[in-house]
Amino acid sequence: MLATLRSYFTSIQAPPSPTDITPVSVNWFPNRRCNYECSFCFHTSKNTFILPLDQAKEGLRSLVDAGMRKLNISGGEPFLNPEYIGEVFKFCKTELNLESTSVVNNGSKVTEKWLDKYGEYLDIMAISCDTFEIETDLAHGRAEKGKPTHINRVFEVVRWCKERGIKVKLNSVITKYNHQEDMNESISQLAPFRWKVFQVLLLEGENNGSDNGALRDARELLITKEQFQLFLERHKEQKCLVPEDNDAMRDSYLNLDEEMRFLDCSAGGKTPGRSVLDVGVQQALQDAGFDNKMFIQRGGIFEWKRVRAVPASLDW
């Protein structure tokens, strides 16, 4: 009897096993191609593979069945495959009744035509914008064929999205080139509901130099924790500000690659595990290196649904 009680109390106090993880919010990188060459990028164009749409839908259905509430698509540049991601969002909303859909992109390939066709299936448009100085953008490599059009494009896409009721988020990577910049005026003009500010991060084999087998080299862009904190202090009045330093970023995301394999970043690289399509969600999650506590602490769950307008006929 005593042994039974001891076993019972041990079991209820034990930390959850990897199979107890619920994939509430998942970041999926369906394709690695990009039209920019940002020097700090840590998901680089190592291949051009993209999963057939029917297989992608199968994997997404499995994730929703396992508890996924929010899907974020990133890249690469997702809008190099506009119809593909549009059909994914449509499927998630109309077939899976997914709570929230989001896309992180550089804004350069978004069109009003796409927004008119698929915008109703999108909750959040997250646009990467690290600076409001053209010279800094070019130094980072955030340009297509060297053309300094990115900043104006950000303002244009933000306006399009707000006109259609899509929530706007901005993502900024802080490096040695922009950590002293004052972005308050431009952020206030754009008025995103969230402004994610990341300290530039190195990942093995992605952005730590060709001598380490990487396509990018962000080593010269690194800043100290103190420099990052000074940037945050300068922008502390922005209510939309959501900062993430290297420690918060590394293990607190469920990242799914182009083959629907969770990426384990806990050792400083990005090690792919087994595919959701091959072993199922719970087995695949064992390979994720995911820190659920850190996910909660960094504010991984927030108000991520857009507010739908009430039809005039129902507005009593």
Catalytic residues: 34, 38, 41
For residue 198, list its beta bridge partners: 173, 244
Task: Supply 262's token pair.
Answer: 């969770």
End-to-end CA distance of the chain: 64
In angstroms, rounded to a whole number, what is the distance separating the alpha carbons of residues 313 and 316?
7
Strand partners, 171: 128, 196
Q: Longest Cα pair distance anywhere in the chain, in angstroms?
A: 75
Structure tokens at 162: 């707000």
Provide the CB-side half-sphere exposure for 19 (13 A, CA): 4
Q: How far is CA 287 from CA 63, 141, 193, 246, 281, in A?
A: 15, 33, 33, 21, 10
